[in-house]
Amino acid sequence: MKEVNTFTNFENNDEKVDAVILNLEQIGETAKKLSDKTKQNYSTIHWPSIIRLRNMISHEYEGIRLNIIYDIAIVYIPDLLSKLDE
């Protein structure tokens, strides 16, 4: 999200919003398909939250709060990537 460095920039960029939401949904979909063993190998990752986010995006799209999506993209996705790299 290099071009979007504030929440205001994010919420005013429909293309970026759609891309981030789609990517978060795909991350959750992939998490659903991971084996229990894989999830145990990465036990510091809270897999149920990732899957719940995917379900919310898929089934309650109009209820999505962009400030939460922005925080996830800025704070939690870098943390997730860091944990996966360990």
Give 19-77 pLDDT, tens digit per residue: 999 999 999 999 999 999 999 999 999 999 999 999 999 998 778 999 999 999 999 99
Parent domain of 72: 7-85
Q: What is the pLDDT of residue 66?
A: 95
Specify if 40 maps to a domain. yes
Specify if 1 maps to a domain. no
48-57 long-range contacts, Cβ below 8 Å, gap at least 24?
50/80, 52/28, 53/24, 53/28, 54/24, 54/25, 54/27, 54/28, 54/29, 55/28, 57/21, 57/24, 57/25, 57/28
The structural domain count of the chain equals 1
Q: What is the pLDDT of residue 86?
A: 83
Specify if 45 maps to a domain. yes
**What whole-number distance in Å separates Cα of residue 74 and Cα of residue 68?**
10
Q: What is the pLDDT of residue 85?
A: 92
pLDDT at 2 over 80: no
Q: What is the pLDDT of residue 27?
A: 97
